[in-house]
A and B are shown apart, each in its own frame.
Chain A
């Protein structure tokens, strides 16, 4: 299989060609951006301190830093989730939220909880931390990585008993974690487009007609990603 290395190709891009020169007038290199508040100093909009500690710890296991590629913390996934919970999505602002509710309906019926996603996080974190205290003698954030993985696996497989209205907690957490990893950086995560660089997604470039030509079959796309704000990596 091919491997892409955008760090190399970016240098080529910057040093050669009129196309590069033209684009560089609109795309700003990342170094020119104002650095965001370090994650440790970030003040959560929605989560309280214990919840934030959980989000930091849990996302760091769902997408760990070890191995190749960035983890959830390097890409600021927790910031994304916090902003989502404080915003429209977390508040179920566009969902149909009228009763009567039947949260224990068959999962085929989709989301039937009376709680908003933000409330599911709040209730889910609390119930899961209680379970961790009972089974591992500490809140989730205070467990070692192996115990955290074990606890998350139990949550994922339904072994952690949750009230029916909280049953979507793990699915929400995992989905939002991946969203924060892969979404455009304007939403707070995918810091420095690191996940896009890692997998080889060129972001918001959005123009590829010549790449349908058979001469480009199996040729890895040479340019690194750009974001909606015009950063390039």
Chain B
């Protein structure tokens, strides 16, 4: 029999970016808010402080701030005919762990998606015709438009403190910014970061080819900043320990630097760590949730936490898992295409070209997480899908993030893997290379989805979630298109040598190398309960007092890093809850 805790108005599952945002927004409505976090507590001091955090092995290689597969993982297979096997140690993607979640260890690339991406199916049908969409491609509109989200993108950027250069303010194209971006209502809160040599070389090469380079929008402060909650950021010092590390300098936007200290001062907010939510409990009629059951690790017992409103704010994979375990939404069935929970899992199609320069010294350890220049000349709204034979797009960028030698030892192909030749090669080439990357969209497909694994169990005896996913021809054609655009830029820079790495026809998904922690879909939003889990306000269609945040809402993956969109959607949902739901709790659509 589970212990029962005192009722709260709101229980939030997970205390990362969206948990902290919803926490402070709902606490400011005067509600009693409790966040349950299954990992440890973390704060700048002591967890990210200098010099202990500058430890590549502990954090960069052994994943000190990441989810431990022993505690939580998934199984993976490439298609419905295969037997899925567990993701036993981390590789392809790195979910965060503990207070702050993945908001602790990201690099801080903060983007808005394109207006076209929020209504992708309609855009493709209107511009190119429905017949260019392959039969097995299950892309959808989001049910919310860019114009509706614009104020929330703006608020997130001003809350998180983003450094950048606007390219389009209310329709006016601003030189030096991204001319292809959707209109924004005002400039970024901070000017762009200073840029390292590799980025400036890429900028100049792109410029010379008539392309439109702009500084990467960065969740790394370029100057001193105070946000709406009174939280303070200091300018980034280019420490070179950003991605996979917590920020030692109060410069990277994170729940810790932007929200948590302010939130902790609200006396009607509390949080409990080492408390893993096992299930969302539903009322007898199945139409509302009554609260959550969680495992209290310190007490070693199950606890029922009653609450009037349940906010799922865990990482995308964990939100989907919880919804499947709690029977929220009909599980998706790839044979019939019916059901919704777990539908349209998607990832990110990336590739890149490495450039080696014998005579250039890049000082590679000088880096900010979001340092660099980008071009959007081959973005989703710039490509003729009918002519090119694929649906999708990519931003292309160059920027130096770190020179930590275990992970960032880029070597030309003629350097051996070990022995005297390797040792000679690392001396010759460390600090003498850069790369140009393509960060591309990934469409949704009928047989790429998430469900419960029939065999493998987690430490609580619950089925692990099973990922069925592989690369598809459409997205491989997209990345090959990007290769054909990037290689001429690289060659124009006259490197000593260069080498490309893009997925070729027939490429299969490989769980081993790190690719990206941009897992999306599975709790997708939309305007029809038959084809989406959440309505346009991130409210569960079936159980109206459950709202799910995060990139699970993406019906397919955008061509950008997801956090900016996740942040905008969270403020959008928070506003709907505050202004519309709380006065009259009901399905909002």
Interface residues of A in 198-212 (CB under 8 A from B): 198-209, 211-212
How many A residues, CB 8 Å from partner?
68
Interface status of B543 (Cβ within 8 A of chain A): no
Q: What does the 1/0 interface line of B550-566 toward A look like (CB < 8 Å)? A: 00000000000000000
B239→A69 contact, CB < 8 A: no
Stretch of B84-92, B111-119, B386-394 contacting A (4+ beta carbons < 8 Å): B84-92
Cβ-defined contact, A199 with B405, below 8 A: yes
Query: When the two chains form their complex, are residues A96 and B61 in contact, meaning their CB atoms are under 8 A apart?
Result: no
* Residue B484 interfacial (CB < 8 Å): no
- B431 contacts which of A184, A196, A200, A209 (Cβ < 8 Å)? A200
* Chain B residues closer than 8 Å to A208, beta-carbon distance: 237-240, 363, 365-367
A183 and B56 in contact (CB under 8 A), knowing A209-B194, A211-B366? yes
* Candidates B55, B88, B197, B200; contact of A96 at CB < 8 Å: B88
Contact of A228 among B51, B365, B371, B455 (CB under 8 A): B51
A112 at the interface (CB under 8 A from B): yes
Query: Known contacts A213-B194, A217-B197: does B363 contact A207 (CB below 8 Å)?
Result: no
Q: Is B229 in contact with chain A by the CB < 8 A criterion?
A: no
* Contact, CB under 8 Å: A89 / B237: no
Would B87 and A220 count as touching, CB distance under 8 A? no
| Any A CB within 8 A of the CB of B3 | no
Nearest CB of B to A116, in Å: 11
A98 to B71, CA, bound (A): 11
B69 within 8 A of A: yes
A66 touches B363 (CB 8 A): no
Instruction: Indicate with 1 or 0, residue by residue over A44-82, a CB within 8 angstroms of chain B CB atoms.
Output: 000000000000000001111011110100000000000
Cβ-defined contact, A201 with B455, below 8 A = no
Q: With A108-B512, A200-B430, A212-B196 known to touch, is A228 a contact of B91 (CB < 8 Å)?
A: no
Contact indicator A97/B70 (Cβ below 8 Å): yes
Is A119 at the interface (CB under 8 A from chain B)? no
CB B231 to nearest CB in A, in angstroms, measures 21
Give the residue among A62, A67, A195, A204 with the most B Cβ atoms within 10 A.
A204
Binding stretch for chain B, among A7-15, A33-41, A99-107, A132-140: A99-107
Is there an interface contact between B510 and A211, defined as CB atoms closer than 8 Å? Answer: no
When chains A and B are docked, how far (Å) is the Cα of A1 from the Cα of B455?
A: 56
In the complex, A22 has a CB within 8 A of chain B: no
Q: In the complex, which residues of chain B have a beta carbon less than 8 angstroms from the beta carbon of A156? A: 417-418
**Known: A184-B56, A217-B197. Contact between A201 and B239, CB under 8 A?**
no
Contact present for A179 and B420 (CB under 8 Å): no
Q: Are B50 and A206 in contact (CB under 8 A)?
A: yes
Report yes or no: B363 in contact with A220, Cβ–Cβ below 8 A.
yes
Provide the residues of chain A in CB contact with B427, threshold 8 Å. 68-69, 198-199
A149 close to B (CB within 8 Å): yes
B586 interfacial contact with A, CB 8 Å: no
Contacts of A69 in B (CB 8 A): 423, 426-427
Give every chain A residue within 8 A of B361 (Cβ-Cβ).
1-2, 218-220
Is residue A42 within 8 Å, beta carbon to beta carbon, of the partner chain?
Answer: no
- Asked, given contacts A108-B510, A110-B89, A179-B57, whether A63 binds B240 with beta carbons under 8 Å apart, the answer is no
Contacts of A127 in B (CB 8 A): none
Q: Which residues of the partner chain A approach B359 to less than 8 Å between Cβ atoms?
A: 1
Contacts of A202 in B (CB 8 A): 365
Say whether A179 contacts B417, CB under 8 Å: no
Quick one: given A62-B419, A207-B237, are A216 and B51 in contact (CB under 8 Å)?
Answer: no
Q: Complex formed: what's the CA distance from A219 to B406 in Å? A: 23
Select from chain B the residue with minimum beta-carbon distance to A109: B85
Q: How far is the CA of A200 from the CA of B365 in the complex (A)?
A: 10
User: How far is B432's CA from A105's CA once the two chains are assembled, in angstroms?
Assistant: 38
**A108 x B511 contact (CB < 8 A):** yes
Q: Which of B50-107 contact A (CB under 8 A)?
A: 50-52, 54-57, 61-63, 68-70, 73, 76, 78, 83, 85-89, 91
CA of A108 to CA of B91 in the docked complex: distance in angstroms?
11
Chain A residue numbers with a CB within 8 Å of B420 are 64, 66-67
Q: Measured between C-beta atoms, what is the minimum distance from A155 to chain B in Å?
A: 11
Interface positions of B from 504 to 549, Cβ below 8 Å from A:
508-512
Q: Which residue of A lies closest to B54 (CB)?
A: A204
A92–B86 CA distance with the chains assembled, in angstroms: 14
CA distance A187 to B241 in the complex (A): 18
- Answer yes or no: A86 CB below 8 A from chain B CBs: no
Q: How does the 8 Å CB contact mask read for B343-369 relative to A, with 1 for contact and 0 for none?
A: 000000000000000111101011100
* CA of A197 to CA of B88, assembled, Å: 36
Q: Does B363 contact A174, Cβ atoms closer than 8 Å? A: no
The answer to the question of B462 belonging to the interface, with a C-beta cut-off of 8 Å to chain A, is no
Q: Which A residues lie within 8 Å of B76 (CB)? A: 109
* 10 further interface pairs, Cβ-Cβ under 8 Å (given A108-B509, A208-B238): A63-B418, A89-B62, A94-B70, A156-B417, A204-B54, A206-B248, A208-B365, A218-B360, A221-B363, A221-B366
Closest 6 CB pairs between A and B? A206-B239, A183-B57, A204-B54, A94-B68, A96-B69, A212-B194
* B→A interface (CB under 8 Å): 50-52, 54-57, 61-63, 68-70, 73, 76, 78, 83, 85-89, 91, 194-197, 200, 235-241, 248, 358-361, 363, 365-367, 371, 403-406, 409, 417-420, 422-424, 426-428, 430-432, 455-457, 508-512
